[in-house]
Amino acid sequence: MRDARAFAGALVVAGLVAGTAADRLPEVRPLLRGGYFVLQADLHVHSFLGDGTLWPWDVAREARRRGLDVIAITNHNQVLAARLGRWLAPHLGGALVAVGEEITAPGYHLIAVGIDAPIGWQQAPAQAIDEVHAQGGAAIAAHPTLVFWPTWDQAALRSLDGAEVCHPLTYYQGPEYLRAFFRRFKLERPHGAAVGSSDWHVFRSVGLCRTFVFATARSERALVEAIRAGRTVAYDVGGTAHGDPGLVALLGTPPALPAEPRWQSLLALAARLCALVGMAGVLFLRGRAA
């Protein structure tokens, strides 16, 4: 019995060691097109200390695995987690973290990217956008489905920097509503930014929908400047490219996600099996001993 328990414990330890060894991040090199860094970005991500399930630095590491250069952590009506992520992620090998907030009001949701302090939600969207701009940030309409349309008046649309035209909702609702809102937005802001975001909390993949940002540098400030200048491309769920036609042509075929080496995936599988079998053995043998 003692030998069996020792073997089960060894399996658990082996699983932990193998899992740590398999946790290697891919090398992500941003594309260079026309003198710009083309940053693959997910500008609407939630984390722990909010309503996401991973710590902000862990989300940044997962973003690297998904081939992203930058994420904006945008918890509801707070920036604490985003500021922690911006500070720690570079030391842990994760993607660049921009400080953001999902300003969550009864009639609209607004993504702020590149801010330092929370923006109040008890105000009209045009006023909230003005506060985002006063902090040097960019303002993006979050998942502007039909229920939010009445709040987005002309003043708000003219102040917006971008709008989500690709979002996981469209995988089962279809892309029509976000496309229609984006056309309406572009009538007021012809150079407004097209944005694709995952709105990640727990189940979907970070970067499932993403934005290709044509930035002058790999920094939060350059990211915000590019969004406000409308230098973005996003592909919606129907495969339609949105953004300046010149940038769409410059980007060409979007890059594939980084492939995990076979040895790494096998090692990760072995780690899970060792840990699961070992823990099952420990629990079973503990019950027998009792």
Does 163 have pLDDT greater than 90? yes
Q: Which H or E run contains 272?
A: helix 262-289
Does 29 have pLDDT greater than 50? yes
**201-232 pLDDT per residue, tens:** 987 689 999 999 999 999 999 999 999 999 99
- By three-state DSSP, how is residue 227 classified? helix
**72-123 pLDDT per residue, tens:** 999 999 999 999 999 988 888 889 999 999 999 999 999 999 999 999 999 9
pLDDT tier at 25 (50, 70, 90 boundaries)? low
Beta strands in 126-251 (DSSP E): 138-141, 162-166, 193-196, 211-215, 232-235, 241-243
Instruction: Please report the pLDDT score of residue 136 as a whole number.
Output: 98
**Greater confidence, 277 or 142?**
142
240: phi then psi, degrees, rounded to nearest 5: -80, 130
Average pLDDT (119-139) is 97
Does 16 have pLDDT greater than 60? no
Q: How many residues does the chain have?
A: 290
